[in-house]
Amino acid sequence: MKLTTTVLATSALAISAGASFAEGHLADELTLVSWGGAYQKSQQRAYSEPYAENTGVNFVWDESSSEAVAKLRAMNEAGNITWDVVDVVAADAIRLCDEGLAMEIDHDEVLADAPDGTSASDDFGDLIVSDCFIPQIVYSTTFGYRNDLLEKAPDSVCAIFDTDTYPGKRSLEKQPIANLEWALICDGVDISEVYDVLETEEGQDRAFAKLDTIKDDTIWWSAGAETPQLLADGEVSIGSTYNGRLFSVIEEQNQPVSILWDWQMFDLDGWIIPAGLPEDRQARALDFVKFATDTQRLADQAKYISYGPARASSAPLVGKHADLGIDMAQHMPTDPNNAQNTFLFNYEWWADYRDDLDGKFQAWLAQ
Amino acid sequence: MNETGPVLSADGTPLKRSLARALRREKFRAFLLVSPLLIFILVTFIAPIADMLFRSVENNIVQDTIPRTVHVLRGWDPDANDLPPEEAFQALYLDISLAAEMKRHTRLGSRLNYEKSGMASLFRKSGRGVGKFDADIYTDAIEDMDPAWSDPATWAEVFDDADTRAALPVTAGAWAALNDHFASQGKELKKRDLEDYLFAALHLDTRDGAPVDDPGVKAIVAAQAATPFEPLDYQAAFADIDEDWVDPDVWKTIQTYAASYTPGYFLNSADLQLTPAGIEARPENERIYITLFQRTLFMSLMITLSCILLGYPVAWLLANLPARSANVLLIFVLLPFWTSLLVRTSAWKVLLQQQGVINDILVWIGLIDNAGRLVMINNQTGTIIAMTHILLPFMILPLYSVMKTIPPSFLRAAKSLGATNWTAFWRVYFPQSVPGIGAGSILVFILAIGYYITPELVGGTQGVFISNRIAFHISSSLNWGLAAALGTILLAAVLILYWAYDRIVGIDNVKLGG
């Protein structure tokens, strides 16, 4: 009796499992990888909470985005991929795609059209920097300064090299990217020639020589939270960090800090789906990504954090901050007033020169 | 009667053998008891570490990704300063085409980029570029002759024959590699997967005739005998992708790193580099690792010393106070253990920075003026202070447990025999506490040498450790070989120090408790 019930139950389960497979079974758990902090919080409020409400999917978060490439490589070697959707910067997405670790997608087929019918690939435009990359936000690395510690408000990024007019310590990221570009721009190199100059030995020496002039006045950061803390404590008078962090220092914590948008360095952040997922998990990941990157959802994220939505069609929908009630459009790095002088992180160039320049940069730091 | 014969046990076997068997069984049982833990440690600890360390010399990626090119380059003399022969470019075309199909070419590019800047984009571009070579002339010519060649089934049939494979080695190799790749992916080979490079390979194999029976291949050979296919200039085609391919230095780099095992990573760890001309010192502005190793050892020693200086009196107090107050004090010692490492490190920032609590107090009481605030963080001082605080419990606890076992009566006896307080401490108490110092020092030193979060946050430019670079190469630059080499050197340094300690102090002299 008992045996027959078990057999019956098992076969019923098998049949129902078979049936749901036939109609495209979706996994009911989704492991998302992101950066933690306020950024991940904004993703939870804009994307995962509404999605969970609609579908009942259970979300598992892993704050490993800074090591995403290393970990995905290791998972791939071990043959066990535990992540479903991974938030990475564009440079990492390109690397993962090139190595076959991320799934290539057809953006028009997989992602939603804009409300006016524009196809996804047109809506995202140039921001689709790789076949695997699903853009999400545009952010920038730029400078914040203390109003009360500087007599004159700086209007150019070159203020960081002018310690007479703008006294006090500076904070810069402990890596060559962006710092060398700023050094050359302020040494009189035209933006269009920066990378050509930086390719040569003399150009690199020139950039390091420029950085030498403020080496003793600089505190080097490696975590995004450091500059906001240093600014809030008055430890530095001007320092670079991500624009969202500065927004939070200024608007949420009401510190006497302002943003200097001159020559902000744009970068992109977005989703990738690891290659080789089982069918049900991949289907779920695609379904989530389609939802999370539609025009409205991308505009929603800007309610919680000051990063620009990657879709052109989302820009007009950006409204007020959910908790503070302030207009977010003017705080976006992409706002025309803020984006007068910008440069985009040159992925391909840095892929070539990063190993070399990083070695030189570290040796220069240690001298 | 049995005086000369062996002693027998109850069942008649010699006692000696019986005893040996019993002992063996005993040992086996002991081993069985230990084996779960042993297997666990082997699988989850020793094996991964060994695997990681092995990467410091392993360099199969070049050989595996571009095997044909490596083979041709074996016969190439780099000193002549000429480009390698046309065969090398032909081999490279096949290798990169196949590698691009398997998405392995960019990984090789990143690998070689560690040695020469520009290789990453060179391989990336070439992976796209080889698909646009004019090799479609061969595809068109061969498919025009017999449309069956556009069907994978034809290829499978032709290359099923061992004689054909031997007669057409280049094509057979490429075809086998392609098939293996699709089989490993569980995918089926379709018409569009038969790309130009297969036909180009077929051309290379057949242009001077080929001893085959297969009628299809024979037709190709015959056609070429009548009117040869237009030869493709592979070198020019690669030069079209990027001028770097006609730079002999690029080829020298590939040849230098073609071996399956390379000392390159270890040389890099010692600020040297492997060049086509031999081992050379790195340029002055790129040397960093030796400085970092020295700094790591020096700072770890400083931290260990300050832990001894600060920890010894505390442990003494703990061991000699009445139990109730000692327990309260012990909780204070353990308290930092229950606080997050990041919180403790950040707290030090708040205390030590120039606008921080300590400087504010010093300015307030007038010891220093506002312009002369002390720099106590983002340098070596900050690292030593923060890490001494974090590692102090590891010194105090072994010291305390050893001091607990020293009977107080010894000191009283020494004094009653006329020793001064100092003599009694130095001649009687201290020697008995040395095993605790030894245990604490080993713990603190080994932990300090591998620390990287605290130095990264409070070390500035002068206080970072070698482990910061290891972490960087593991998670950012993905140069796992170099990270493994640095890790191996660090491990070796610890083992050497351990050995030296054993020789000088004696490892039997280390105690973690009574």
Reading the block at residue A264, the tokens are 């902000």
Same fold? A25-138+269-330, A141-264+345-366: yes
pLDDT reported for residue A367: 81
Q: Is the pLDDT of residue A4 over 50?
A: no
What is the DSSP secondary-structure string of A49-77?
Answer: HHHHHHH-PEEEEE--GGGHHHHHHHHHH
Percent of chain B with pLDDT over 90: 70
Q: Just give the CATH number of A141-264+345-366.
A: 3.40.190.10
Q: Is the pLDDT of residue B88 over 90?
A: yes
Question: What sign has the CA pseudo-torsion B375, B376, B379, B380?
Answer: positive
- Measured between beta carbons, the chain A residues lying within 8 angstroms of B292 are 366
Distances (CA, A) of A7 to A10, A17, B246: 5, 15, 70
pLDDT reported for residue B186: 85
Is B285 in contact with A98 (Cβ distance < 8 A)?
A: no
Is A352 in contact with B461 (Cβ distance < 8 A)?
A: no
CA of B98 vs chain A CAs: smallest distance (Å): 14
Q: Is the pLDDT of residue A251 over 90?
A: yes
- Measured between beta carbons, the chain B residues lying within 8 angstroms of A366 are 288, 291-292, 461-462, 464
Average per-residue pLDDT in chain B?
91
Q: Is the pLDDT of residue A9 over 70?
A: no
- Write b or e for each residue in B412-433: b if 16 or more Cβ atoms lie within 10 A of its Cβ, otherwise e: eebeeeebeeeebeeebbeeeb
Q: Is the pLDDT of residue B318 over 50?
A: yes
Q: Is the pLDDT of residue B280 over 90?
A: yes
Q: Using CA atoms, how far apart are residues A31 and A87, in angstroms rounded to an integer?
A: 11
Distances (CA, A) of B425 to A244, B405, B420, B421: 60, 15, 9, 6
Q: How many CB atoms lie within 10 A of CB A198?
A: 22
Minimal Cβ distance to A356: which of B110, B117, B464: B117
DSSP reduced 3-state for B381: helix
- Measured between beta carbons, the chain A residues lying within 8 angstroms of B378 are 219-220
Reading the block at residue A116, the tokens are 């006016």
Q: Is the pLDDT of residue B512 over 80?
A: no
CA of B480 vs chain A CAs: smallest distance (Å): 9
Q: Exposed, middle or buried, A215 (CB in 10 Å: 0-12/13-18/19+)? A: middle
Residue range A175-198: mean pLDDT, rounded: 95
CA of B268 vs chain A CAs: smallest distance (Å): 11
Q: Using CA atoms, how far apart are residues B273 and B281, in angstroms rounded to an integer?
A: 6
In a mutational test of the A interface, the residue from B121, B346, B454 whose CB has the highest number of chain A CBs within 10 Å is B121
Is B475 in contact with A363 (Cβ distance < 8 A)?
A: no
Residue B464 identity: V
CA of B334 vs chain A CAs: smallest distance (Å): 28
The answer to whether the beta carbons of residues B242 and B132 sit under 8 Å apart is no
> Which of the 8 DSSP states describes residue B283?
P
Is B120 in contact with A352 (Cβ distance < 8 A)?
A: yes
Q: Is the pLDDT of residue B508 over 80?
A: no
Residue range B19-40: mean pLDDT, rounded: 93
pLDDT band at A10 (very low <50, low <70, confident <90, very high): very low
Q: Is the pLDDT of residue A2 over 50?
A: no
Check CB contact of B355 with chain A, cutoff 8 Å: yes
pLDDT reported for residue B213: 83
Alpha-carbon B306 to chain mean position? 31
Question: pLDDT tens, A278-331?
Answer: 999 999 999 999 999 999 999 999 999 999 999 999 999 999 999 999 999 999
Is A235 in contact with B103 (Cβ distance < 8 A)?
A: no
Q: Is the pLDDT of residue B190 over 50?
A: yes
pLDDT band at A150 (very low <50, low <70, confident <90, very high): very high
Residue range B203-229: mean pLDDT, rounded: 87
Is A235 in contact with B119 (Cβ distance < 8 A)?
A: no
CA atoms within 13 A on the CB side of B80: 7
Q: How many CB atoms lie within 10 A of CB A151?
A: 9
Residue range B490-494: mean pLDDT, rounded: 92
- Measured between beta carbons, the chain B residues lying within 8 angstroms of A100 are 102-104
Stretch (H or E) spanning A85 = strand A85-89
The answer to whether the beta carbons of residues B106 and B120 sit under 8 Å apart is yes
Beta-strand pair A58-62/A29-33: parallel
Write down the pTM of the prediction.
Answer: 0.89
Q: Is the pLDDT of residue B362 over 60?
A: yes
CA of B331 vs chain A CAs: smallest distance (Å): 31
Q: How many CB atoms lie within 10 A of CB B165?
A: 17
Q: Is the pLDDT of residue B3 over 60?
A: no
The answer for residues whose C-beta is within 8 angstroms of residue B341's C-beta and 6 or more apart is: B390, B453, B454
Task: Provide ipTM, 2 decimals.
Answer: 0.88
Looking at domain A25-138+269-330, its CATH class is: alpha beta
Task: Give the chain B residue whose CA is nearest to the CA of A200.
Answer: B117
- Measured between beta carbons, the chain A residues lying within 8 angstroms of B477 are 354-355, 358
Task: Give the chain A residue whose CA is nearest to the CA of B102.
Answer: A100
Alpha-carbon A289 to chain mean position? 16
Percent of chain A with pLDDT over 90: 86
How many residues belong to chain A?
Answer: 367
Residue range A186-201: mean pLDDT, rounded: 94
Q: Using CA atoms, how far apart are residues A171 and A219, in angstroms rounded to an integer?
A: 5
Q: Using CA atoms, how far apart are residues B514 and B503, in angstroms rounded to an integer?
A: 23
Check CB contact of A223 with chain B, cutoff 8 Å: yes
Is B457 in contact with A66 (Cβ distance < 8 A)?
A: no
Is A355 in contact with B355 (Cβ distance < 8 A)?
A: no
pLDDT reported for residue A14: 43
Average per-residue pLDDT in chain A?
91
Question: pLDDT tens, B426-472?
Answer: 999 999 999 899 999 999 999 999 998 899 989 888 888 999 999 99
In a mutational test of the A interface, the residue from B124, B273, B350 whose CB has the highest number of chain A CBs within 10 Å is B124
Residue range B138-158: mean pLDDT, rounded: 91
Residue B512: φ, ψ to 5°: -100, -5
Residue range A245-272: mean pLDDT, rounded: 95
Residue range B141-154: mean pLDDT, rounded: 91
pLDDT reported for residue B513: 64
Is B355 in contact with A220 (Cβ distance < 8 A)?
A: no
Reading the block at residue B306, the tokens are 């300050």
Q: Is the pLDDT of residue A11 over 90?
A: no
Q: How many CB atoms lie within 10 A of CB A275?
A: 19
Reading the block at residue A310, the tokens are 């990657």
Distances (CA, A) of B457 to B294, B349, B386, B451: 20, 9, 10, 11
Stretch (H or E) spanning B113 = helix B105-113
Q: Using CA atoms, how far apart are residues A295 and A286, in angstroms rounded to an integer?
A: 16
Q: Using CA atoms, how far apart are residues A248 and A252, in angstroms rounded to an integer?
A: 5
Check CB contact of A217 with chain B, cutoff 8 Å: no
Q: How many CB atoms lie within 10 A of CB B325?
A: 11
The answer for residues whose C-beta is within 8 angstroms of residue B248's C-beta and 6 or more apart is: B78, B81, B82, B83
pLDDT band at B514 (very low <50, low <70, confident <90, very high): low
pLDDT band at A21 (very low <50, low <70, confident <90, very high): very low
Question: pLDDT tens, A88-127?
Answer: 999 999 999 999 999 999 999 999 999 999 999 999 999 9
Q: Using CA atoms, how far apart are residues B5 and B505, in angstroms rounded to an integer?
A: 51
Q: Is the pLDDT of residue A204 over 60?
A: yes
Is B117 in contact with A352 (Cβ distance < 8 A)?
A: yes
Q: Residue ranges of the domains in chain A?
A: 25-138+269-330, 141-264+345-366
Q: Is the pLDDT of residue A208 over 70?
A: yes
Q: Residue ranges of the domains in chain B?
A: 12-54, 64-131+234-262, 134-226, 289-509
Q: How many CB atoms lie within 10 A of CB B338?
A: 7
Question: What sign has the CA pseudo-torsion B141, B146, B148, B149?
Answer: negative
Distances (CA, A) of A306 to A76, A283, A344: 34, 31, 18
Out of 3.30.230.10, 1.10.3720.10, 3.30.365.10, 1.25.40.20, select the CATH number for domain B289-509: 1.10.3720.10
